Structure 1
Amino acid sequence: MKKLTPRQQRILGLLFRGESWSSSAVYAELRKAEEGVSLVTVKRALADLSQLNLLFVKGVGRATSYEISVSGRIYADVDAEAYCAVEPDKRYGSSCFNFSLFPKFPTDIFLASERLTLDEATNEYKKRTTDLSEIVQKKELERLVIELSWKSSKIEGNTYTLLDTEKLILEHKEAHGHSKNEARMILNHKDAFTFIHEHAEAFKSLTRANLEQLHALLVKDMNVGLGLRKTPVGVLGSTYRPLDNIHQITDAISDLSRVVSLMETPYAKALVSLLGISYIQPFEDGNKRTSRLMANALLMAYSCAPLSYRSVDENAYREATLVFYELNSIVSFKKIFIEQYDFAARNYAVK
């Protein structure tokens, strides 16, 4: 993936807001942000973006217009906080599932600098996990499981504190004033992580079978139906509506599985599965929990560090997710992923 210039990013941002743009229309908008920019410069920038497959061209001559491509959507840098500050019904994103997204998903989604950060973190992680005693391994595993179970549950609205979570997992003591479901959600995280930790080889790829198996562990005894959903679901705070029939959901899972298999690195496999499962929403509940654990399963299957999300800001996480739902941009979430991977690789020693 090539790093885009600020001007190129501004153009992609404009094209999100309408189906087709002429070079003159793009020029008129860019002049508001770039004093002195010329039409010739804008046309050259549009041509460069087209060559990068971030735009596609329609028509010829004066009838030429430009539309953003799937890759353009994926690589566009959107200010997630500003975008989500607008009321859902007034945002310019799509409310529909993008059937072109997975079939046209690029396999090279990290910049060279980002890949270097991830690889350096992995090297540090491998050093940290070399020659550990059984006692240290047990303590490190407990620490990661507690912090992952707490934060992943908190992202979903669970009100257990980190200390409550520690007591629940290590001492089997439920916190007063909390529902049984909150305790069950946390304990299910523990069981799901234990399973993928012990069966890492089964998660070299994402399949419908291992996805449903992981989901079943995460929603055990929570009155949630198993298997792919057969009824519609909505997304809080968004006009985006996931697919509403099991046949399309099944096809989308197959498309996602194929995309994940084509990704060039374990990091890309994990990130795409994390976003893709959340986007498809294949189950009636527990989708984002399943996506986080599946991402960890893929990372561990390739001897990479699992994430705890301990230091993630929940609002930033939700905003970046909504940007992917409505605009298909991965940039905001990718930043979170890289930060969390670097944090995990340098702070845990679970192998």
Structure 2
Amino acid sequence: MISVATVSAKKRQLDALRKAIRPGALDGLEHSQRIDITYTSNAIEGNTLTAGETALVLEKGITVSGKPLRDHLEAIDHAQALAWVLEIAAQTETPVSETDVRNLHRLVVAKSNPDIAGRYADRPRYVNTDAGSYDFPAPIEIPALMQAFCSWLAAEKDSPKAAFEAHLRLVGIHPFNDGNGRTARLLMNLVLARAGYPPIAIRPGDRPAYISALEASQRGEGHAAFDKLLFSRLDQTLDMYLAAAQQAQDVTATSGKIVPMRT
């Protein structure tokens, strides 16, 4: 399993490289990552847009023939929610509040399911697992559970471990009628960004391991498998950023040299 020390060391290396490259040098990568995070998070929930189609919807405003309108709206909603997450991530002096979580959900379903936007669940929620049907807390329990959850989050130091645990805890409460997974993954990335890490994508190919790890946690079997998957994704994302930053540093260094003319 990738250790906390490993990702911390890579983050420090990335922080140093960011200071050595020109401003905006990683904008292209970060733009691509935002689209990828929207594509992957929605795909895990069954959205049928491909990565390329998601980019067309978000960058060109193109409607993809044969794809449901809801899938387009989910892409737009998620992209706007992610933009808000990265915008407020710098406000590290203020803890993430219950209002923030509800606003995050509101953005996640603003156009695709506006009737439930930012509202706590008013009906039972359950999921079919390998061990049978799993019931989430009753709607009447949600306000108290969310208050306790946000109190816990406010007391935690922003870190990858806190980000991953926040994801698990929010999914366990399942406070909304729909959009819980997307909201939890965005909250995870909010905490990561507050800690200075790049946001990560959980890929569609990860879905079996991801769902299995969530179910293991819900059965009280701990979150080792969940942490292993997400630390691996964070490590890979850091490697991608480090490679791009190193290339940008090389370009910056080369552009400052005077190349002698041939005679």
- TM-score of the aligned structures, taking structure 1 as reference length: 0.63
1:196 maps to 85
2:97 equivalent among 192, 207, 217: 207
Post-superposition offset of 1:233? 1.1
2:215 equivalent among 313, 319, 322: 322
- Greater Rg, structure 1 or structure 2? 1
Post-superposition offset of 1:144? 0.7
Q: Deviations over 1:169-203 (max 9, x none)?
A: 21111222111111111111211111111111346
Post-superposition offset of 1:222? 1.6
Q: Which range is displaced more, 132-141 or 234-243? A: 132-141
Q: Is 2:44–2:203's contact at 8 Å kept on the other side of the alignment? A: no
1:235 and 2:127 equivalent? Answer: yes
Q: Superposed, which structure 2 residues align to 1:80-159 within 5 Å?
A: 114-133=3-22, 135-159=24-48
- Separation of aligned partners in 1, 2:104 and 2:44: 18
1:60 maps to none
Q: Deviations over 1:131-153 (max 9, x none)?
A: 44455343122111111011111
- Separation of aligned partners in 2, 1:183 and 1:242: 29
Q: Is 2:43–2:204's contact at 8 Å kept on the other side of the alignment? A: no
2:116 equivalent among 225, 229, 251: 225
Q: Which range is displaced more, 165-174 or 260-269? A: 260-269
1:245 equivalent among 133, 139, 143: 139
1:269 maps to 162
The 1:249/1:328 distance shift into structure 2, 3 A limit, reads farther
Q: Is 2:85–2:190's contact at 8 Å kept on the other side of the alignment? A: yes
Q: Is 1:153–1:186's contact at 8 Å kept on the other side of the alignment? A: yes
1:259 maps to 152
Percent of aligned pairs with the same amino acid: 21
Q: Superposed, which structure 2 residues align to 1:158-173 within 5 Å?
A: 158-173=47-62
Q: Secondary structure at the match of 2:134?
A: coil
Q: Deviations over 1:287-327 (max 9, x none)?
A: 01001101111111121221122485111111111111222
How many corresponding residue pairs? 239
Q: Which range is displaced more, 286-295 or 262-271? A: 262-271
The 1:157/1:253 distance shift into structure 2, 3 A limit, reads same
RMSD of the alignment, in Å? Answer: 2.4
- Separation of aligned partners in 2, 1:118 and 1:312: 22
- Separation of aligned partners in 1, 2:137 and 2:210: 22
- TM-score of the aligned structures, taking structure 2 as reference length: 0.82
**Any stretches of 5+ residues in structure 2 without a counterpart?**
245-263
Q: Which range is displaced more, 149-158 or 318-327? A: 318-327
1:184 maps to 73
